[in-house]
Structure 1
Amino acid sequence: MSRKPLLVATLAAAMTVLLGSQPAIAVQDEDIDFDTTEDLYQVCSVEPGAPEYVPASFACRGFIHGAVQYHDAVTDRKKLKRLICYPKNVTTDDGRMAFVAWAKKNAGNEKLMNETPVVGLVRALAEKYPCK
């Protein structure tokens, strides 16, 4: 069974609760797409205090957590080479900050920013937490 529908359903439920409990905000469902690395960057770089921060933060953290969890599960179970070697104390927010910094640095690189977001995320995390 694919986990993508579960992730999308979870995010949609969270968005529904959040949108129903707050004043109208600028982020709409169609704004939180993860088609490209640029899309992920736009969602993950929403600043605290912005009206759309809460749903964007949940969406960003969910994407990062899911991607890293999948990476860890596949590399551990299949004994594949790890792409990301982060210390045990690293948090999802540390990963978000590493990704946002990487994406900001590469914002002018159309090729990188048009890749699928999981590829951009792994590139960023592998650069920040390389495997020796």
Structure 2
Amino acid sequence: MSALDATQAALAAEHAAVYGYGVVGGRIGTERRAEATAAYEAHRARRDGLRRTIRDLGGTPVAAEAAYELPFAVADRAGAVRLAAVLEDRVAGVYSDLVRATEGRARGEAAAALREAAVRAVRWRGTDVTFPGLAERV
């Protein structure tokens, strides 16, 4: 996978995460609303940074979809927490690809994004995984 392709995939994942956190925010309740808002803002910032990176690589950033299919229905706070963990796992997986596809500073930024997503997933899930970003590929 080329650096441009991997960056486009990361951007698509960030678009989906921003959308998903809109759903999370609507169901999370007041106790964890600040955490959901912080994650939403972090994904928006990463999304915007990836758009710039893609332009720097000579590409046209992939556009967000009008809507995204959620992996399951989110009807309550427990579902919102579960969705947030799934979103972070998916983002971590895409960033693991970006780490492999890049070098230097770009690789460091991708590794930082992977780490941030993995930490957020642990906070939402309450447990960790051995290889963040790779767990869903086994």
Which TM bucket (shorter chain)?
0.3 to 0.5
User: Between Structure 1 and Structure 2, whose CA radius of gyration is higher?
Assistant: 1
- TM-score (normalizing by structure 1): 0.33
